[in-house]
A and B are shown apart, each in its own frame.
Chain A
């Protein structure tokens, strides 16, 4: 393994769990949320105990200190993505970021020249994929309902990869927005983003990338990917909950109408009208979530300490090992691509006819935490012909022994459920 098992020592929850429960926690649900190293927790505590004030609000030194903390965090995110600070908006989460885009586009006015590019009319098309997390599907459904635009999607195969065979019929000249996931949260499939972006450019569509799963696993260069917008959440990359990122090309962020209104995003306010700032603050109303941004900054620095290339290799090694070991379990049904490089960090499966919730319950008995059910990706699971699945997802605090324990747990579960007559 490229990363040492000693990394786990930075994540105090593992020691605390063992002390409380008496057994080791095998945490395999990082695709839902990651555990946090003490460096991230300490960074937030340090901010709250030494620098806490309303950023960009006060004229006193402590407020300026808080402002510096916030903007340092923004700079770290921008550098991580290799973009500019004027292109980074802090939100509550990736889900909020996606809703921000959908609402902002929906608010675009044809009468405003700079907003026209976002304006959707009856018959315009928004294209997603069949493997989207609900957060990158439902907001676009609602936007279509509000504007009369049509939702289309790139279908998936039963193997959980995109069917690119008839793309010209899906991404047509009427396509205004292509919203795609970089990596499926349910089966881990990584999509050919640059290829799809090229198709979008050909028809002049804007591209929105859901990078929730990829941001903490795969080295990201948004300039190279050439997307117009990208979103991810801090808590899925060792950072705190309550902070998300929206990347947008500066020219677009400056042109988009706001989503939420209130303090900080205004330029001037009268009783019957207001004007708004042109900077990213236009999308950050209210007192900023500075402590969470500081936590995210610490998370990025933590990841960069090891280097995203090594993190990626670590995920590949774990996934490759897991796929090999899982495939030997009786009645296992692996879902998604069979090659680790096509789905780093995430494995999904079913155990014969046993419902995923029952498998998850059994694994919990061994302190193995996995996700079960539909993973907020019902259309993909439906396409793959399953009602639910078990998902094990890794991060830098996992090692091969975690996979071994997962396999042992599944073997026990298989035997127990077989003896109880639960296989149909």
Chain B
């Protein structure tokens, strides 16, 4: 195992300088998602009720992978519509579960998780923030 293959520079950069990682007020929806296995926890807020889901903010306590993934998710989802976010989530899940696939350009820095995909436990770390966002959007739609 080469740690540099797993912890690529771009991931470490997102980890050290996370984007969107300060909870903002006011918000229209808030959710907390906890990983039952490792205890990583994200508190995610949505600040817009229109079709766009821009202005996500969050606070996360977790490993390098979950923290960097949250930052990347923020970059990708800001300014996107809800259907666009859902499609991005689907692509992230597909990419993380298919270890042979190449990440589409639309996923941007998610491609840096290609070596992380080899470790089933770390896939959950990548998806934690995405799942928090998707569940929040789905709950908002039902309201």
What residues of chain A have their CB less than 8 Å away from a CB belonging to chain B? Answer: 354-358, 361-362, 364-365, 372-374, 378, 387-388, 413, 416-417, 420-422, 424
**A373-B39 in contact given A361-B6, A422-B7 (Cβ < 8 Å):** yes
Contacts A357-B63, A358-B63 given; does A388 touch B39 at CB 8 Å:
yes
Contacts of B39 in A (CB 8 A): 373-374, 378, 387-388
| Chain A residue at minimum C-beta to C-beta distance from B1 | A365
Give the distance in Å from the alpha carbon of A59 to the alpha carbon of B61 in the complex.
60
Residues of A within 8 A of B40 (CB): 357
- Is the CB–CB distance between B6 and A420 below 8 Å? no
Complex Cα spacing A372 to B37, Å = 9
Looking at the complex, which one of A356, A362, A421 makes contact with B12 (CB distance below 8 Å)? A421
Interface residue? B64 (CB, 8 A): yes
CB-defined contacts of A424 to chain B, threshold 8 Å: 16
| Given A357-B38, A357-B125, A362 and B3 contact (CB-CB distance below 8 Å) | yes
User: Which single residue of chain B is at the shortest CB-CB distance from A413?
Assistant: B3
Which of the residues B3, B4, B7, B38 comes within 8 Å of A372, measured between beta carbons? B38
Give which listed residue, A354, A356, A361, A422, contacts B122 with CB less than 8 A: A361
- 8 A Cβ contacts from B60-84 to A: 61-65
Distance in Å: Cβ of A263 to nearest Cβ of chain B: 34
User: Judging by beta carbons under 8 Å apart, are B62 and A422 in contact?
Assistant: no
Chain B positions within 8 Å of A413 at CB level: 3
Q: Identify A387's interface contact among B12, B16, B61, CB under 8 A.
A: B61
| Contact between chains at B4 and A420 (CB < 8 Å) | yes
- A-B contact count, CB below 8 Å? 56
Asked whether B15 is an interface residue with its Cβ less than 8 Å from the other chain, the reply is yes
CB distance from B88 to the nearest CB of A (A): 25
Cβ–Cβ contact A422 & B119, under 8 A: no
- Beyond the given pairs A358-B7, A372-B38, A374-B39, 16 more chain A to chain B contacts, judged by CB atoms under 8 angstroms and listed by A's residue number, are A355-B64, A357-B38, A357-B62, A357-B63, A357-B122, A357-B125, A358-B63, A358-B64, A361-B1, A361-B122, A362-B3, A378-B39, A388-B39, A416-B3, A420-B12, A424-B16
Cβ 8 A contact of B3, one of A357, A365, A373, A387: A365
Majority SS at the chain A contact face: mixed
| Residue of A356, A364, A374 with highest tally of chain B CB at under 10 A | A374
User: Considering only CB atoms, which chain B residue lies closest to A375 in the complex?
Assistant: B39
Nearest B residue (CB) for A421: B12
Nearest Cβ distance between residue B118 and chain A, in whole angstroms?
11
Neighbouring A residues of B125 by C-beta, 8 Å: 357
- Distance of A311 Cα from B39 Cα, bound (Å): 33
Residues of B within 8 A of A361 (CB): 1, 6, 119, 122
* CB closest residue in chain A, given B39: A374
Bound-state Cα–Cα, A374 to B3, Å: 23
Give min CB distance, A207 to chain B, whole Å. Answer: 30
- A357 to B66: give the CA distance in the assembly, Å: 10
In the complex, A201 Cα to B119 Cα: how many Å? 50
Indicate if the CB atoms of B1 and A422 lie closer than 8 Å.
Answer: no
Contact A421 B61 (CB under 8 A): no
Are the CB atoms of B37 and A373 closer together than 8 Å? yes
User: What is the minimal beta-carbon distance from B36 to any residue of chain A, in angstroms?
Assistant: 9
Chain A residues with Cβ below 8 Å from B64 are 354-355, 358, 422
CB-CB under 8 A from B6, the residues of chain A are: 361
The winner among B16, B39, B125 for most chain A CB atoms within 10 A is B39
Within 8 A of A (CB), among B1-60: 1, 3-4, 6-7, 9, 12, 15-16, 37-40
Q: Which residue of B lies closest to A357 (CB)?
A: B63
B16 neighbours in A (Cβ, 8 Å): 421-422, 424
- A contact residues around B4 at 8 Å (CB): 416, 420
Question: What would be 19 A-B contacts, judged by CB atoms less than 8 Å apart?
Answer: A354-B64, A355-B64, A357-B62, A357-B65, A358-B63, A361-B1, A365-B1, A373-B37, A373-B39, A378-B39, A388-B38, A413-B3, A417-B3, A420-B4, A420-B9, A420-B12, A421-B16, A422-B12, A422-B15
Query: Please, which residues of chain B bring their CB within 8 A of the CB of A417?
Result: 3, 7
Contacts of A364 in B (CB 8 A): 1
Q: For the complex, give the distance between the alpha carbons of A374 and B39 in Å.
A: 6
> In this complex, what residue of A is CB-closest to B4?
A420
Which residues from chain A contact B121 at a C-beta distance below 8 Å? 357
Residues of B within 8 A of A365 (CB): 1, 3
Which residue, of A365, A378, A420, has the highest number of chain B Cβ atoms within 10 A? A420
CB distance from B40 to the nearest CB of A (A): 8
Residues in A neighbouring B65, C-beta threshold 8 A? 357-358
Residue of B nearest to A359 (CB): B63
* Chain A, residue nearest B9 (CB): A420
Report the nearest A residue to B35, measured CB to CB: A373
A140 CA to B64 CA, complexed, in Å: 35
CA distance A201 to B63 in the complex (A): 45
A421 to B12, CA, bound (A): 7
Interface pair B38/A374, CB less than 8 Å apart: yes
Best-surrounded residue of A355, A364, A387, A416 (most CB of chain B within 10 A) = A355
Are A373 and B38 closer than 8 Å at their CB atoms? yes
Residues of B contacting A374 in the complex (Cβ-Cβ under 8 angstroms): 38-39
